[in-house]
Amino acid sequence: MGRTLVLSVLLVDDSFALREALARSLARRGCRVMTASSGLEGYEILRKTPVDVVVTDLNMPERGGLWLWRQALLVRPELEGRFVLIASEPLPERPRLALFTETERYLLKPLSIDRLWSEVQNATRTKWEKGEGRSTRRAALT
Protein backbone atom coordinates (compact mmCIF):
# COMPACT_ATOMS: atom_id res chain seq x y z
CA MET A 1 0.00 0.00 0.00
CA GLY A 2 1.40 3.42 -1.02
CA ARG A 3 2.10 6.23 1.38
CA THR A 4 0.58 9.63 0.80
CA LEU A 5 2.92 12.59 1.08
CA VAL A 6 1.43 15.47 3.05
CA LEU A 7 2.66 18.85 1.84
CA SER A 8 3.32 21.53 4.42
CA VAL A 9 2.49 25.02 3.20
CA LEU A 10 3.13 28.35 4.89
CA LEU A 11 0.52 30.85 3.71
CA VAL A 12 1.33 34.52 4.42
CA ASP A 13 -1.21 37.25 3.64
CA ASP A 14 -2.44 40.26 5.58
CA SER A 15 -6.00 39.76 4.33
CA PHE A 16 -7.71 37.52 6.89
CA ALA A 17 -10.51 36.51 4.51
CA LEU A 18 -8.17 35.54 1.66
CA ARG A 19 -5.72 33.81 4.00
CA GLU A 20 -8.45 31.69 5.58
CA ALA A 21 -10.14 30.84 2.27
CA LEU A 22 -6.86 29.72 0.70
CA ALA A 23 -5.87 27.79 3.83
CA ARG A 24 -9.19 25.88 3.79
CA SER A 25 -8.84 25.13 0.08
CA LEU A 26 -5.29 23.83 0.44
CA ALA A 27 -6.23 21.79 3.52
CA ARG A 28 -9.05 20.15 1.54
CA ARG A 29 -6.41 19.07 -0.96
CA GLY A 30 -4.49 17.36 1.82
CA CYS A 31 -1.96 20.03 2.78
CA ARG A 32 -0.90 20.87 6.30
CA VAL A 33 -1.26 24.66 6.28
CA MET A 34 0.27 27.19 8.65
CA THR A 35 -0.75 30.83 8.32
CA ALA A 36 0.80 34.20 9.10
CA SER A 37 -0.53 37.73 8.67
CA SER A 38 2.81 39.43 7.88
CA GLY A 39 6.22 38.70 6.45
CA LEU A 40 7.75 39.09 9.90
CA GLU A 41 5.34 36.57 11.41
CA GLY A 42 5.97 34.21 8.49
CA TYR A 43 9.72 34.50 9.01
CA GLU A 44 9.37 33.58 12.69
CA ILE A 45 7.46 30.44 11.69
CA LEU A 46 10.07 29.52 9.07
CA ARG A 47 12.91 29.90 11.56
CA LYS A 48 11.32 27.24 13.77
CA THR A 49 9.42 25.01 11.35
CA PRO A 50 10.46 23.50 8.02
CA VAL A 51 7.87 23.70 5.24
CA ASP A 52 7.63 22.41 1.69
CA VAL A 53 6.21 25.54 0.02
CA VAL A 54 5.65 29.20 0.94
CA VAL A 55 2.74 31.15 -0.57
CA THR A 56 3.03 34.86 0.26
CA ASP A 57 1.51 38.19 -0.66
CA LEU A 58 3.93 40.73 -2.15
CA ASN A 59 2.64 43.84 -0.35
CA MET A 60 1.92 43.65 3.37
CA PRO A 61 2.38 45.98 6.34
CA GLU A 62 5.57 45.45 8.35
CA ARG A 63 7.44 43.21 5.90
CA GLY A 64 6.28 42.00 2.51
CA GLY A 65 6.74 38.85 0.48
CA LEU A 66 10.00 39.83 -1.17
CA TRP A 67 11.59 40.56 2.21
CA LEU A 68 10.30 37.22 3.49
CA TRP A 69 11.77 35.41 0.48
CA ARG A 70 15.22 36.97 0.97
CA GLN A 71 15.28 36.26 4.72
CA ALA A 72 13.86 32.75 4.35
CA LEU A 73 16.60 31.69 1.94
CA LEU A 74 19.23 32.78 4.44
CA VAL A 75 17.89 30.42 7.12
CA ARG A 76 16.31 27.78 4.85
CA PRO A 77 18.20 27.76 1.53
CA GLU A 78 16.36 24.58 0.54
CA LEU A 79 13.28 26.77 -0.06
CA GLU A 80 14.77 28.20 -3.24
CA GLY A 81 12.30 27.45 -6.03
CA ARG A 82 9.48 26.81 -3.57
CA PHE A 83 7.93 30.27 -3.19
CA VAL A 84 4.68 31.40 -4.80
CA LEU A 85 4.28 35.18 -4.66
CA ILE A 86 0.77 36.63 -4.86
CA ALA A 87 0.49 40.14 -6.31
CA SER A 88 -2.37 42.54 -7.04
CA GLU A 89 -0.67 43.80 -10.20
CA PRO A 90 2.13 42.68 -12.52
CA LEU A 91 5.53 42.76 -10.88
CA PRO A 92 7.52 45.93 -11.59
CA GLU A 93 10.92 45.61 -13.24
CA ARG A 94 13.37 45.76 -10.34
CA PRO A 95 16.69 43.91 -9.99
CA ARG A 96 15.69 41.92 -6.90
CA LEU A 97 12.34 41.00 -8.44
CA ALA A 98 14.20 39.79 -11.52
CA LEU A 99 16.22 37.45 -9.30
CA PHE A 100 12.99 36.26 -7.69
CA THR A 101 11.29 35.52 -11.02
CA GLU A 102 14.28 33.46 -12.20
CA THR A 103 13.65 30.79 -9.55
CA GLU A 104 10.20 31.34 -8.07
CA ARG A 105 6.57 31.68 -9.19
CA TYR A 106 4.01 34.43 -8.92
CA LEU A 107 0.29 34.72 -9.42
CA LEU A 108 -1.94 37.73 -9.91
CA LYS A 109 -5.04 38.36 -7.83
CA PRO A 110 -7.86 37.43 -8.05
CA LEU A 111 -6.59 33.91 -7.52
CA SER A 112 -7.88 30.69 -8.95
CA ILE A 113 -7.44 27.97 -6.32
CA ASP A 114 -6.79 25.46 -9.10
CA ARG A 115 -3.97 27.63 -10.45
CA LEU A 116 -2.55 28.09 -6.94
CA TRP A 117 -2.71 24.33 -6.34
CA SER A 118 -0.89 23.75 -9.62
CA GLU A 119 1.89 26.15 -8.60
CA VAL A 120 2.18 24.55 -5.15
CA GLN A 121 2.57 21.15 -6.81
CA ASN A 122 5.13 22.54 -9.28
CA ALA A 123 7.12 24.07 -6.42
CA THR A 124 7.12 20.72 -4.66
CA ARG A 125 8.42 19.02 -7.79
CA THR A 126 11.23 21.57 -7.79
CA LYS A 127 12.06 20.48 -4.24
CA TRP A 128 12.50 16.85 -5.24
CA GLU A 129 14.37 17.67 -8.46
CA LYS A 130 16.84 19.96 -6.68
CA GLY A 131 17.24 17.93 -3.51
CA GLU A 132 17.83 19.68 -0.22
CA GLY A 133 21.21 21.24 -1.14
CA ARG A 134 22.35 24.76 -0.44
CA SER A 135 21.27 27.60 -2.66
CA THR A 136 23.65 28.93 -5.26
CA ARG A 137 21.96 32.34 -5.08
CA ARG A 138 22.42 32.86 -1.35
CA ALA A 139 25.22 35.41 -1.69
CA ALA A 140 23.20 37.46 -4.18
CA LEU A 141 20.41 37.93 -1.65
CA THR A 142 22.45 39.67 1.01
Q: How many CB atoms lie within 10 A of CB 80?
A: 22
pLDDT of 56-98, one tens digit each? 998 898 898 989 999 999 999 999 999 999 988 776 665 555 5
**How far apart are the C-alpha atoms of 10 and 49, rounded to whole Å?**
10
Residue 105 has a pLDDT of 85
CB-based contacts of 28, cutoff 8 Å, min separation 6: none
Sequence-separated contacts (24+) of 127-130 with Cβ below 8 Å: 127/52, 127/53, 127/78, 127/81, 127/82, 130/78, 130/80, 130/81
CATH class of 18-131: alpha beta
The predicted structure's pLDDT at residue 9:
98
Q: Where are the domains of the chain?
A: 18-131
Query: Taking the model in full, what pTM does it have?
Result: 0.82
Average pLDDT value for residue range 5-15: 93
